[in-house]
Structure 1
Amino acid sequence: MTFPAPLTGVVPPVCTPLTPEREVDVPSLLRLVDHLVGAGVSGLFVLGSSSEAAYLADRQRRLVVESVVGHVGGSLPVLAGAIDMTTPRVLDHVASVTAAGADAVVVTAPFYARTHPAEIARHYRLVAARSPVPVVAYDIPVAVHTKVAPDLILGLAADGVLAGLKDSSGDLAGFRAVVTGARTRPGITGFSVLTGSELVVDVALALGADGAVPGLANVDPHGYVRLHGLCRAGDGEGARAEQERLCALFGMVGVGDTGRMGRNASALGAFKAALKLRGIIDCPATAEPQVPLSADEVQRVEEFLAGAGLL
């Protein structure tokens, strides 16, 4: 499928179901895809943070892309993360996921080694020059320890290097600057500005964002599609109520005891526990070395689902 310009709507960052042995559970993955597509999402983003891409072996990454692309059969765009530390490694992932059929690649700033904004720009230019599909920037400073400045993003967009931005920075002022610049800066056309937040989708869309990439949409895609529709229809009161329901549901990410596990393990463990409780995936396992949720913590996830009307 040709990557739309701009990409709009709800594009869930698809979780990667695993077997107890920590292999990709393809049947569960395809049921999850059906769950998302059936809710009316506008695209799928595989191999992102919610996909546990950083934990997957290269063969597992490729299997995920091949499985999802083959299953949707071009009915909606599939974006694939090409996330790694340096440009040569990212280019290896670009070659792999595009050969597997991805319609666009999603790329962070380089990490591990300290970088300069000029090197981040060079990174994106080199990746775009070698990529056969559009490149979407992924701004996630909590993971890569670098904030990609709005002017850098907009400059690359104006030069045709970037086709979009997934913003998971939490910097609403910076996000607003990109949204405004994408609309007003000469040379920028068809650039997709997507929020990665679960909690301020209504605000982001009101600012002019094109869509959202919320991890919680794995659990409740219908809610986010409904929220997007309410925002586009100008129903502020309805959108606010739906956003607040989703904010309450998002509380599940805090069920894990951070005295014994990381916040990432708690959040992804909650998403997967919820998907298991909803009958969509077979096993809630997260990738090693993440600590699994306890039975009591899973019970709390169930309570969040019940409170949101999802059980």
Structure 2
Amino acid sequence: MNIQGIIPAILTPLTEKEHFHPEVATQLVNRLIDSGVHGIFALGTNGEFHLFSEEEKLQIAETVVKAVGRRVPVFIGAGENSTEATIRLSNKLADLGVDVLSIITPYFVAPTQEELYEHFRHISENVNIPILLYNIPSRTGVSLAPETVARLSALPNVLGIKDSSGNIENIKAYLDVTKDEDFVVLAGTDSLILDTLKLGGAGAVAATANVLPETVVGLYESFQKGKLDESEHFQKQLQPLRATFGLGTLPAPLKKAAELYGIPVGPPRSPVKELSGEALEAVAQMVEDYRKQGKAAKE
């Protein structure tokens, strides 16, 4: 499978009672695909994967697979804390027609690099669809070392890694140690999309694409055409949205921005609360500024 381009890490729409909202999820998927994205990534960090039961995850995945309708590849977060639970969920997702499993490192338990290797190796041997590794040490407390990624890249169905470390040197190290393998490295930090592409990365799993899909796709496509000034302009256009991410607990600011752009994704799931007060005003002002520039996603 050819993994490349801009793959939005989609928000998980919820009702006011915090139940999954499949109709809005379908609306969001269609809006993103119409904007030219190259894949759909559900149940990631901004998709609040850690707050849903297995039953809910399967409902979300089934809805996304159906909504996408094979127009682009579907990536679904399958990582659980235990190896056994990850394998069980992964195979259920495969049965639903998911194209690629995104598997985050275990969190809270802080395994060693050898334990991480064995975790992913065992998963690889027990699932039949491609795997994308997911490294986000700020949330999990553990980071996949380049040497471990090099070992994992040799496994037949481990196709790449999404790196959300926020460290471009880490991305460069992953690219260096896997240069002899058929293995892709994707930026998971939206401020590093262009830098990752310059180093030879394949693209990005981008949360900002929920709100600014044309901008993020434009960044990738202009880079592919050698229009570096244009791609740098698009990269800078993402910063005001990213600057609001610290105004509340993830993903509350992004959900509010998406809602103000016309996608009623609803609240985050408790214990995370919706934005209010000055934080809400700042997000509303950011959205208004983008609208004045004509940067809103298409209605």
TM over 0.5: yes
CA contact (8 A) 1:17 1:29 kept: yes
CA contact (8 A) 1:86 1:111 kept: no
Residue identity matched to 1:198? D
Residue identity matched to 1:59? E
CA contact (8 A) 1:269 1:284 kept: no
Structure 1 residue 220: Cα displacement: 0.7
Q: 1:297 aligns with which of 260, 268, 279?
A: 279
Aligned residues: 293
Residue identity matched to 1:294? S
Where in structure 1 are there 5+ consecutive unaligned residues? 257-264
CA contact (8 A) 2:267 2:273 kept: no
Secondary structure of the residue aligned to 1:213 is strand
2:244 maps to 1:248: no
Q: Deviations over 1:158-189 (max 9, x none)?
A: 23251110001122112102123332x3xx12
Secondary structure of the residue aligned to 2:132 is strand
Q: Which structure 2 residues correspond to residues 170-249 of structure 1 after superposition, within 5 A?
A: 170-183=166-179, 185=180, 188-189=181-182, 191-249=183-241
Tell me what 2:161 maps to.
165
Q: Which structure 2 residues correspond to residues 69-88 of structure 1 after superposition, within 5 A?
A: 69-88=65-84
Q: Which structure 2 residues correspond to residues 1-311 of structure 1 after superposition, within 5 A?
A: 4-5=1-2, 7-183=3-179, 185=180, 188-189=181-182, 191-256=183-248, 265=249, 267-281=250-264, 283-308=265-290, 309=293, 310=295
Secondary structure of the residue aligned to 2:231 is helix
Which structure 1 residue ranges, 4+ long, deviate > 4 Å from structure 2?
A: none
Q: TM-score, with normalisation over the residues of structure 2?
A: 0.94
Where in structure 2 are there 5+ consecutive unaligned residues? none
Residue identity matched to 1:248? P
Residue identity matched to 1:301? V
Q: TM-score, with normalisation over the residues of structure 1?
A: 0.90
Residue identity matched to 1:97? L
Structure 1 residue 240: Cα displacement: 1.4
Distance 2:71 2:23 in 1: 19
Structure 1 residue 110: Cα displacement: 2.1
Secondary structure of the residue aligned to 2:178 is helix
Secondary structure of the residue aligned to 1:163 is strand
CA contact (8 A) 2:6 2:37 kept: yes
CA contact (8 A) 2:166 2:192 kept: no
Tell me what 1:260 maps to.
none
Q: Deviations over 1:197-249 (max 9, x none)?
A: 11121111001000101111111111100000111112221111111111122
Structure 1 residue 105: Cα displacement: 0.5
Secondary structure of the residue aligned to 1:165 is strand
